[in-house]
Structure 1
Amino acid sequence: METLVTEIAPDIYRLSTYISDADFLFNQFLIVAEEPLLFHCGLRSLFPLVSDAVARVSPVADLRWITFGHVEADECGSLNSWLAAAPRAEVAHGAMGCLVSVNDMADRPPRPLRDGEVLDLGGKRVRRLETPHVPHGWDAGLLFEETTGTLLCGDLFTSVGNAPALTETEIVGPAMATEDVFGATCLTAATAPTMRRLAELRPTTLGLMHGPSYTGDCGRALDDLAAAYEARFVESLNGRRAADS
């Protein structure tokens, strides 16, 4: 295995490891600024590979912020390894996630972030967007880098297989095919509206955790993803009503 490094937007780097046995990509994102930030820590077993990849771009010890979408092994399994390697680093996560999980998990106290709160990194600005249960996890949230219009969208658009670092090829179809296999996304009344609120940001790049980074019509992709899940939600309601009648 190797971790590949690609600049997907100015000073935003995709760190990508393909695990062939699982036929799955695991991506982290490094934002280089006066206060460098890592989004997704990665699995604990991948820390040597990913930290070496970070070091090719910026010293690991210089990391100031470590954050992730929600509490899950592939998002924060190596959290404390990063804290040990970067003595100035602070964990930043949504307030709910800090309360229920990160306060206990992290070797240093985390910085709770409110919905919409911005971290000024010096040259880059990242905004925490709370997305409870979208795609899953009640502490779920995403990160939007305002100066480049890059949405780091975690498990949204997850697809199996290896993929190029950047693509303009349609990503909703592969995501829904993967959803058919794993059923990983919560279907609630808030699922589609949450995705449509993300579309209103009109991002220019989508940083997928499991798949390629996307540089096509990002707003349209999010709207189409919302429509696909809305159709499934309505179908599930209709199925329940039919069963109850």
Structure 2
Amino acid sequence: MTTRELILIFLLQFEAISGQHTYVYARAGDVAVLPCKRSSCSGLSWLYSWDEKSLVHEVVNGRVLTSSARSQRLSVKDCSLLIDRVKAQDTGYYACEQSGGSTLTVLLTVMTLTSSSPRDSDSTGEGHVILKCSLACWPGMRCSCKQGRLRWMDEEGQELSPQGTQQNNCLSSFKVLPAGRNRNYTCQYVAEDGVKVQAHYTAVFKEVNTRGPGGPPPGRTRLINIIRVAVAVSLVIVFVLAVVHIKTKLRRNTAQDTTRS
């Protein structure tokens, strides 16, 4: 590692302590835009540090290096670095520098929202879903929620009580029951000056068996109901046809009696 890179790493660590950097928050899967305001992009370089000791080049002379493992997801626009389909692994410190100019640093934090169903469902077929919301950030920031907090909101803007929250690791979980089917839930990271980043989840549950372990499954119940309706309609049709047949026969008999007399 060159002396210049060592100096830059020291600069990153110093700015992490002093707060002299630009914060960028992104949701996993979105496009993260890391700003770099320059009058010209000639000789532009972007460097990346995922820990407090390493430093690699991602962009040199305004072009993304093909040697980068994520080169297919990186691009440069108006000197800014764009990361497509951003992941939690993309968090870290980014430095935008230009020969003869100052170095601008950006701290990227990524929010990830995942859902999972418990392996062992109870006998009533509750089928709930567990949502987990987390922030991934540069290790130098110790990735905690000391400057803000995670919160859960429903579609009406009401704050919900989480199932569990780890402020030290910036991780929060929430339990969604089938009663909340087809509803929207939002995880937000909130600081003093407002919402920094948020992720949405729409709860969509399949029909569950509410008749208990002794009752038929939902699919069979629907089939039984269809058969019942079909049988009822058939009986009505048969009854109507029988009435019409009887009336027709009576009219014929009446007509024959009149002719004989």
Same fold (TM over 0.5): no
Q: Identify the TM-score tier after normalising by the shorter chain.
A: under 0.3
TM-score by length of 2: 0.23
TM-score by length of 1: 0.24
Which structure features the higher share of strand residues? Answer: 2
Query: Relative contact order: is structure 1 or structure 2 higher (C-alpha 8 Å, sep ≥ 6)?
Result: 1
